[in-house]
Amino acid sequence: MGVSVDYLSFVEHLIRPLLMHPDCLQVKQLPSGDGALFIQALVAPDDLGRVIGKQGRTASALRNLVIMAAAKDGNRMKVNFDAI
């Protein structure tokens, strides 16, 4: 089961407005052994704090939006945010 382009676009659409360096954003699918869809969003090191937010609240909210969208389609989703 592969990630729909819609999920990748959705994650990109959510994260891009938060970034100071939006041209560095890379959103890609990685293999997951447990059957869940796994998306990794890579941002510039300067932007990682903006994506994570205070006490991880922004990252948690972004994950919840993606997880809920995937659940609506009957999929399980994992999202990870890292610096390039």
Condensed to tens digits (0 to 9), the pLDDT of residues 13-69 reads: 999 999 999 999 999 988 877 888 899 999 999 999 999 999 999 999 999 999 998
CATH number at residue 47: 3.30.300.20
Can you read off the two tokens belonging to residue 69? 């969208």
pLDDT at 28: 94
Q: Whole domain around residue 79: which residue ranges?
A: 5-83
For residue 7, give every residue at least 6 positions away whose Cβ sits within 8 Å of its Cβ, in sequence order, or none.
37, 39, 66, 69, 70, 77
**Could you tell me the maximum CA-CA distance found in the chain, to the nearest angstrom?**
35
